[in-house]
Amino acid sequence: MRLLPQLIENNRKWVQSVNESDPDFFDKLSKGQSPEFLWIGCADSRVPANQILGLLPGDVFVHRNIANVVVHSDFNCQSVIEFAVNVLKVKHIIVCGHYSCGGVKAASQNHHLGLIDNWLRHIRDVRQKHDSVLRAIENEGEMIDRLCELNVVEQAYNVCHSTVVQEAWESRQDLAVHGWIYGIGDGLLKDLNVTITGPTEIAEAYRVAINQNLA
């Protein structure tokens, strides 16, 4: 249906329930945002940032794309990082992937899918970089999940090397970058041992995260 009346009705019910629990909620929300977290995640409909973290609207600044990729040439993502760090002054940037990611699975294969091949090229570069590790995993599902983890580590690494984050650290701004992964099958987040609070920590955090075994 063009007007999707059920969704409009759902919205009305949601507003009513929020107003009943906190009559000032929308008034406070309209006065501005001051989230402490930037979430860079996958566009998968099963991975909604606020719900996973148990937080409310206004608590998380969010950027999502296919397979949570962060590259210097993506001005959309880089602009989000800039606004989050320089304007909102977030204290944490969380790069969160998820197991059984369709984008990562597609990148692990050599099929031609169309326009998205250009985007998946970034993940295929990750696959090629860690080819020896991935080839040693015989089970395909486990191999894809390991690639999902490696992709998060690589994208967190890219965040750390972005101009905005480097400049924030140079000015001694309080900012940490984290790499997490989400299990759709159990709803649980897993810390991939990527927590970086300054440029001197990047190399060691990367080494630890890359060398950890698939749990």
What's the per-residue H, E or C state across the chain?
CCCCHHHHHHHHHHHHHHHHHCCCHHHHHHCCCCCCEEEEEECCCCCCHHHHHCCCCCCEEEEEEHHHCCCCCCHHHHHHHHHHHHHCCCCEEEEEEECCCHHHHHHCCCCCCCCHHHHHHHHHHHHHHCHHHHHCCCCHHHHHHHHHHHHHHHHHHHHHCCHHHHHHHHCCCCCEEEEEEECCCCCCEEEEEEEECCHHHHHHHHHHHHHCCCC
Q: Which residue has the higher pLDDT, 210 or 83?
A: 83
| Res 33 pLDDT > 60 | yes
| Res 25 pLDDT > 90 | yes
- Verify whether residue 191 is a known catalytic residue: no
Which one from 63, 77, 92, 98 is the annotated catalytic residue? 98
% of the chain residues with pLDDT over 90: 91
- Verify whether residue 127 is a known catalytic residue: no
| Res 54 pLDDT > 60 | yes
Mean pLDDT confidence for 167-195: 97
Residue 60: pLDDT band by 50, 70, 90 thresholds? very high
| 45: CB partners within 8 A, 6+ apart | none
Alpha carbon distance 121, 118 (integer Å):
5
Mean pLDDT confidence for 130-148: 95
pLDDT of residue 1: 58
Which residue carries 């991935």 as its tokens?
Answer: 134
| Res 213 pLDDT > 60 | no
Residue 215: pLDDT band by 50, 70, 90 thresholds? very low
- Verify whether residue 42 is a known catalytic residue: yes
Residue 197: pLDDT band by 50, 70, 90 thresholds? very high
- Verify whether residue 46 is a known catalytic residue: yes
Which one from 44, 63, 77, 160 is the annotated catalytic residue? 44
Name the residue ranges covered by the structural domains of the chain.
34-211
Amino acid at position 109, single letter: Q
Alpha carbon distance 81, 85 (integer Å):
6
Alpha carbon distance 78, 31 (integer Å):
26
Residue 212: pLDDT band by 50, 70, 90 thresholds? confident
What CATH number labels 34-211? Answer: 3.40.1050.10
- Verify whether residue 101 is a known catalytic residue: yes
Which one from 46, 72, 121, 207 is the annotated catalytic residue? 46
Predicted TM-score (pTM) of the model is 0.95
| Res 148 pLDDT > 70 | yes
Which one from 77, 96, 101, 160 is the annotated catalytic residue? 101
